[in-house]
Amino acid sequence: MTGGAGFIGSNFVHHLIRTTDTEVTVLDKLTYAASRESLADLPTDRVDLVVGDIVDGTLVDKLVSEHDAVVHFAAESHNDNSLTEPGPFIQTNIVGTFQILEACRRHDTRLHHISTDEVYGDLELDDPQRFTEATSYNPSSPYSAAKAGSDHLVRAWVRSFGVPATISNCSNNYGPWQHVEKFIPRQITNVIDGDRPKVYGTGANVRDWIHAEDHSSAVWLILQEGRIGETYLIGADGERNNLEVVGRILEHFGRGADDFDLVTDRAGHDLRYAIDSTKLRTELGWAPTFDRFEEGLARTIEWYQAHEQWWRPHKEATEAFYAAKGQ
């Protein structure tokens, strides 16, 4: 698998080790977003970390030739970074995916490509429709456009070359091992530090939250039972606006409901994402275990309280990046 030292990738490795007897090789460049510590307590006879770049076609080819299947998580993943420096998003998300596809083509290796609901653009707050597998692509940011490009490459390699691949597009994940640049960990750790949460714009933007453990179970199921060439949307009916999420975090810590700042909005900020995961649920029988967002959020807050040594090294630089942009 690729990107296993990042947030969702490391949750997936923990899920595999706990629920299957699979052996995993993680190919990861260990960018600023990665953490070796996220994989630290796993059995070394089942998890092997190879530090390298998915853009390196020779390395990718060698590793793919030695494995039964590839799950491709590696990406530049943060919208705010894509607005300040889009170049790495093109390299990793598009060129890197191209290298994975070419290796899978040469070795006829099963591939599952991890993607995002952001490829579909955004919805109005009162739109009764949610994203489905039939929704047209309409990405807004350099990040989501690069992910959309990677999805199109996968579809083309399936159709043109018969690469045995599936794709999943998932909504916003939360849970342990998420970098403090992202919304929920940033606000939890701000409150732990006695600072005020920072909410972009008006805070009316809606995200459809899913616990990373539930994303992991869906990916494993699709890898086992998904139909080649198909796309599956993954979501847990977790729509909340950003003010509601911050309100929950403040309430958990016993802080006042107004104890946050509204800050400069994100350029091109998508208003709402919402996933209809009927296909995954009916065709493959998947269901989330964290079906109440508030309970999963409380567990996540407790995780950050108990793992300060994991997130602390990243906090200062992250806040300096945001402060320079008035966020």
Task: Just list the catalytic residues.
Answer: 117-118, 143
Residues numbered 263-282 forming contacts with ligand DAU, rule: CB under 6 A: 266, 273
Structure tokens at 116: 């995002």
Query: Of 112, 227, 126, which is closest to residue 170 (Cα–Cα)?
Result: 112
Q: Is 231 in the site for ligand NAD (CB under 6 A)?
A: no
Residues 143-182, one symbol each (x = binds ligand NAD by CB under 6 A, - = not), give ----x----------------------x-xx-----x---
Q: Is 54 in the site for ligand NAD (CB under 6 A)?
A: yes
Q: Is 53 in the site for ligand NAD (CB under 6 A)?
A: yes
Residue among 2 and 190 whose Cβ is closer to ligand NAD: 2
CA distance 279 to 135: 13
Q: Which of 157, 177, 183, 290 binds ligand DAU (CB under 6 A)?
A: 183
The per-residue DSSP string of 121-142 comes to ----TT----B-TTSPP---SH
Residue among 174 and 260 whose Cβ is closer to ligand NAD: 174
Structure tokens at 3: 């990107």
Q: Is 168 in the site for ligand DAU (CB under 6 A)?
A: no
Extended beta strands in the chain, E state: 24-28, 47-51, 69-72, 110-116, 165-170, 173-174, 198-200, 206-208, 210-211, 231-234, 239-241, 261-263
CA distance 28 to 6: 8
Q: Is 215 in the site for ligand DAU (CB under 6 A)?
A: no
Residue among 261 and 291 whose Cβ is closer to ligand NAD: 291
Task: Give the CB-nearest residue to ligand DAU.
Answer: 116
Number of residues binding to ligand NAD, judged by CB under 6 A: 31
Q: Provide the 3-class DSSP secondary structure of residue 144.
A: helix
CA distance 240 to 204: 9
CB 243 within 8 A of CB 203: yes
* Residues forming the site for ligand NAD (CB under 6 A): 2-3, 5-9, 27-31, 33-34, 53-55, 73-77, 92, 96, 114, 116, 147, 170, 172-173, 179
* Residues forming the site for ligand DAU (CB under 6 A): 77-79, 116-118, 171-172, 182-183, 186, 198-200, 205, 207, 242, 266, 273
